[in-house]
């Protein structure tokens, strides 16, 4: 199946290169796609986000041959993105001389670039000219969020683009296969499956295909998806006891606790989307949001293939809202990616109309030009004003110091309890007690009740990392009279902000003969 995808991509690449008229556009694309590589080169590889290091801890252990464990058995799927973890692990084995953190960032940059070339290679399937594909590349590169090269966001966006492109190229089995990969990148990738099936059904209802073709194409998509889904279902159920990541139930529990007011009451996806993110987007990029609306309208009027993006993102928002997922910042990334696509379509529509009016010497070209120039500048500004990401990340720096302390002072089989486990998992080999429940399924019910203390006492860890910043969840641990009897402070280290870390170690209590 992977060979089939390669053959399709290679064939399209050679067909493109045969045409001399594509030389200029290829040069443009090459210049544009240098930017992600520059960003990746200057990325602060040591100081990735804590959630990124959760996935890389799994990659570290997979590369060592230990499987899906978080340093110590049992195997638990505590990462939302098993495919990303597996890919980074495999790349780190092949590229053993390169730091896994650097591999991660450059792989994401390659996926960022891959989005651009996928649109270009499949431009006929989408109904784009080569210049329109360049406009999409300009927007995808210019408005790329360089902060998120540490995570699976660009792999997901690349596979989403590829699966849609294969679908419209009528490579239905391959589109189902890539949807399976998309599902393993993040669970919401499965939403592409019903979108494809509904699209085929609409073709049947509008008499564009026969019932026989409808059934055939649907079965091809399902067959492609099943290749990945069946393998994963067997492996995951045998290894973890479930084919869904534990992070799903853990984050649902966090969202439920938030809705009940047991933790931060605003930490819910739908709340963040409707009251924070949308307002922030409009405040910062009102003109580009207007352009995206023009792109959406243009899709509805001129090329309804592009509405597949709107259908998918509508399903995504509905799904996360129904799951009562917490409102983590990276959950807005798929929405922002789709907005960029519609910004591209809006610019294509406006620029096309501008050239038509200018050629006819129509006065309407003037307001179109006034609308277009600042829009193009807003897209290009992040690249034009690019500065290498240099400087300390106090959170990452303090977490590395914390991890180093455990490497120097704790045995590998001793357990460490904390609520942010990514750095500790990646930079140490200790058993980690995750008080948020991401890698410990049995404490998820406690999290749903806003109870982070019971899970602590359930495991009686050898060490406990205390940071006042997390008193909203963990204050009950030290408030328990048992704590001072059973634990003693052994070290104080600089924290990520005004507060220091205090490391507590379990006392060796005398035993009764």
DSSP-derived pairing of the beta strands 463-466 and 487-493: unpaired
- Residue with tokens 């060796």, as numbered in its chain: 508
Answer whether 175's CB lies under 8 Å from 224's CB.
Answer: yes
Q: Are strands 487-493 and 501-506 parallel, antiparallel or unpaired?
A: antiparallel
- The first and second tokens of residue 299, run together, are 């899709």
The whole-number pLDDT of residue 274 equals: 87
Half-sphere exposure of 427 (CA within 13 A, CB side): 23
- ω before 74 within 30° of 0 (cis)? yes
* Confidence at residue 24, expressed as pLDDT on a 0 to 100 scale: 77
Alpha-carbon span 298 to 301, nearest angstrom: 5
The token duo for 161 is 């683009």
H runs (alpha helix) in 145-210: 153-168, 172-185, 192-205
Instruction: Give the pair of three-digit tokens for residue 136.
Output: 């999409």
Inter-residue contact 70 to 77 (CB < 8 Å): no
Angle formed by the axes of helices 172-185 and 192-205, to 10°?
A: 150
Other CB atoms within a 10 A radius of the CB of residue 459 amount to 16
Please report the pLDDT score of residue 283 as a whole number: 87
- Looking at residue 344, its pLDDT comes to 95
Residue 255 has a pLDDT of 57
Say if residues 70 and 425 touch (Cβ distance below 8 Å). yes
Name the nearest CA neighbour of 52 among 329, 310, 274, 291: 329
Question: Sheet containing 487-493: which strands, arranged edge to edge?
Answer: 431-434, 415-418, 463-466, 501-506, 487-493
CA-based angle 376:380:386, to the nearest 5?
165
User: Residue 129: phi, psi to the nearest 5?
Assistant: -85, 170
Query: What are the structural domain ranges in the chain?
Result: 2-384, 394-506
What's the pLDDT at 509? 58
Q: What is the pLDDT of residue 512?
A: 47
Instruction: With beta carbons less than 8 A apart as the criterion, state whether 21 and 34 touch.
Output: no
**Low-confidence spans in the chain with pLDDT less than 50:** 262, 265-266, 391, 510-513
Tally of CB atoms within 10 A around 227: 15
The whole-number pLDDT of residue 508 equals 77
Phi/psi class of residue 504: alpha, beta or left (left: φ > 0; alpha: ψ in -120 to 50)? beta
């Amino acid at each position: 199946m992977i060979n089939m995808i390669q053959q399709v991509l290679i064939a399209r690449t050679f067909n493109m290169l045969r045409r001399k008229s594509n030389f200029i556009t290829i040069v443009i694309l090459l210049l544009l796609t240098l930017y992600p590589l520059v960003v990746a080169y200057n990325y602060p590889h040591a100081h990735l986000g804590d959630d990124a290091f959760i996935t890389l801890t799994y990659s570290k252990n997979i590369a060592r041959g230990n499987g899906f464990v978080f340093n110590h058995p049992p195997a638990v799927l505590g990462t939302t993105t098993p495919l990303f973890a597996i890919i980074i692990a495999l790349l780190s084995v092949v590229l053993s001389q390169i730091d896994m953190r650097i591999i991660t960032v450059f792989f994401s940059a390659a996926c960022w670039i891959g989005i651009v070339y996928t649109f270009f290679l499949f431009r006929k399937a989408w109904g784009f000219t080569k210049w329109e594909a360049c406009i999409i590349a300009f927007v995808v590169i210019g408005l790329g969020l360089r902060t998120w090269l540490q995570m699976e966001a660009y792999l997901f966006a690349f596979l989403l683009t590829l699966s849609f492109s294969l679908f419209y190229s009528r490579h239905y089995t391959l589109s189902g296969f890539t949807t399976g990969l998309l599902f393993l990148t993040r669970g919401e990738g499965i939403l592409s499956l019903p979108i494809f099936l509904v699209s085929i059904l609409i073709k049947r209802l509008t008499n564009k295909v026969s019932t026989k073709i409808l059934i055939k194409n649907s079965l091809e998509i399902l067959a492609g998806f099943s290749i990945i889904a069946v393998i994963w279902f067997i492996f995951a159920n045998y290894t973890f006891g479930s084919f869904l990541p534990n992070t799903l139930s853990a984050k649902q529990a966090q969202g439920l606790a938030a809705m009940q007011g047991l933790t931060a009451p605003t930490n819910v996806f739908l709340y963040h989307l409707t009251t924070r993110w949308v307002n922030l987007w409009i405040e910062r990029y009102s003109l580009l949001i207007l352009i995206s609306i023009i792109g959406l309208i243009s899709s509805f009027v001129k090329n309804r293939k592009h509405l597949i993006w709107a259908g998918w993102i509508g399903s995504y928002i509905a799904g996360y809202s129904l799951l009562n997922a917490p409102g983590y910042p990276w959950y807005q990334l798929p929405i922002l990616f789709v907005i960029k696509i519609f910004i591209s379509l809006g610019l294509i529509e406006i620029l096309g109309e501008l050239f038509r009016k200018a050629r006819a010497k129509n006065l309407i070209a003037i307001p179109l030009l006034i609308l277009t120039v600042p829009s193009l500048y807003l897209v290009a500004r992040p690249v034009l004003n690019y500065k290498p990401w240099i400087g300390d990340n106090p959170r990452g720096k303090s977490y590395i110091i914390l991890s180093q302390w455990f490497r120097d002072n704790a045995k590998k089989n001793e357990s460490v309890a904390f609520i942010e486990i990514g750095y500790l998992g990646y930079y140490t080999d200790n058993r980690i007690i995750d008080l948020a429940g991401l890698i410990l399924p049995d404490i998820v019910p406690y999290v749903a009740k806003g109870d982070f203390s019971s899970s602590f006492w359930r495991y009686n860890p050898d060490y406990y990392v205390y940071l006042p910043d997390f008193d909203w969840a963990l204050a009950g641990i030290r408030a328990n009279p048992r704590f001072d009897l059973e634990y003693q402070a052994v070290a104080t280290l600089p924290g990520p902000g005004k507060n220091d870390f205090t490391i507590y170690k379990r006392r060796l209590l005398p035993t009764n003969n």
